[in-house]
Structures are given as C-alpha cells and as structure tokens.
Amino acid sequence: MPRSDQDPAFIPTAPDRPTGLPTEDQASTTLAHWHLGPLPDPEDLARYEAISPGLASRLVKLTRERAARQDHLRALALRSAARRDLAELLLTFFLAILAGLGGFDSLAQGDLATGLTLSGGSLSAMALALLRRRPPPHP
C-alpha cells in the first residue's frame, strides 16, 4: 500500500535526474568574458574595424576626448576648492584681526572682561584656522 503525503514518516523519492537538464552528451561549455575599461579589448576593436573601417580609431579618439574632458573638470573642481579654502582662510583672519583690535581697544579703555574675551577669541580663531587646514580629498 503506497504511503500518502499526510503520513509523517513519508519521504518522497526524488527522480535520478531533475527534469529539463541536458544529458552529459548534450552538455556544452559556455565561456564568459569580462572586460572593464574605457575601450574594448584589442580583439573586439579589430572586429569592429572589420565591420566598419575607421570605427576603432573613432572609438579611441572619443575615449581620449572624454578623458581630457574629465581631467579638465577635475582641474576646475580642484581650483574651485583651492579658491574657496583661501577665501575662507582670509575671511577668518580678517575677522580675527578685527576682533583682536576691538579687544585691544577695550583693554585700553579699561574694560578687562570684554578686551580679554575679544583678544583671546581672535587668537583662538586664528589658531583654529591654521590648524584646520587639511589635505584635499582624493578623487
């Protein structure tokens, strides 16, 4: 008497081979090729050239132009960051010098607390501005 699926001791038997898979004499090998870069492999470029003469040289030219544009944009970004850092540094020094002069003026007029606060704050701001200088991030 065959066992049913409701029987807890029932373990179904699997077929020897899953259906739909090729047999050993039907099996084939598939090779995968992976390439990463701005240009195709030289073999692929040669095939492109055979299909359309001049295509390989146009691809190389377009790749060089794209690389030049990217280099130009990186240079612009670096110059912009350098200008921004310089402006930030100059503004910090200007404000610190202004606060320091106000502090010295307050000290000269006898207001010790305000004078020391402004003078100490301006020296701290200058020190922090110098210490905050950091190397640019790597792209």
24 Cα distance to chain centroid: 47
The Cβ of residue 123 has, within 10 Å, a number of other Cβ atoms equal to 14
Name residue, tokens 């280099």.
71
Contact 97, 122 (CB under 8 A): yes
With a threshold of 0.85, does the pTM exceed it? no
Mean pLDDT of the chain: 79
- The pLDDT of residue 118 is 81
- The pLDDT of residue 74 is 96
| CA dist list (Å): 86 to 70, 75, 94, 130 | 24, 16, 12, 11
- The pLDDT of residue 61 is 94
Cα–Cα distance, 108 to 47 (Å, whole number): 84
Measured over all CA atoms, what is the biggest interatomic distance in the chain, rounded to whole angstroms?
113
- The pLDDT of residue 107 is 82
- The pLDDT of residue 3 is 53
Which residues of the chain have a pLDDT value below 70? 1-31, 33, 133-139
